[in-house]
Amino acid sequence: MNIETTRLLLRPIAAADFEAHARIVGDPEVMHYIIDEPMTRVQAWWNIARYAGHWQIRGYGMYVAIEKSSGEIIGHMGFLNPEGGRGFELGWILARSAWRKGFASEGTRALVDHAFGPLGQTHIVCVINAENAPSIAVAERLGARIEREETEAGKRLLIYGIIR
């Protein structure tokens, strides 16, 4: 199921999106708050395979974010809910060229509406590195509030929650 906003088309991630995905997750600045290093092409391949598989198993997952005006893939955003995870999680990553333009807020707002509407969710979590002020601001604009803190791989994570 595709989701459209004023400036974005969100569609399920697919194998054809690999090159754009590898470029985005291979950028050290993009990945700074997510993992310690940018992803290699092999890691990016396994990552996109994980996202595609999530769609098969759960019926929802990560979307590629396409800027309508240019047709360019500018990132990915969507849902993960793996076994042993923290629950129904909303996440997002944007290419540097898409930073500070409101795309994260615009896309995630549509995704929250989708989660609480057609997907029937009542609680969404956002897992954010405590040093990632821009993502914290996005989560707070969505109405998320800190539910707890965790430490993972030596990094302080804030677990934000959004309740329908």
Instruction: Note the pLDDT of residue 21.
Output: 97
Instruction: Note the pLDDT of residue 108.
Output: 98
pLDDT, tens digit (0-9, with 9 covering 90-100), for 102-134:
999 999 999 999 999 999 999 999 999 999 999
Burial 26-41, CB ≥16 within 10 A → b, else e: bbeebbebbeeebbee
One of 3.30.1490.190, 3.30.230.10, 3.30.930.10, 3.40.630.30 is the CATH number of 3-121, namely 3.40.630.30
- As a whole number, mean pLDDT of residues 37-60 equals 96
- As a whole number, mean pLDDT of residues 63-67 equals 98
pLDDT, tens digit (0-9, with 9 covering 90-100), for 4-17:
999 999 999 999 99
Distance of CA 126 to the CA centre of its chain: 9
Record the pTM: 0.95
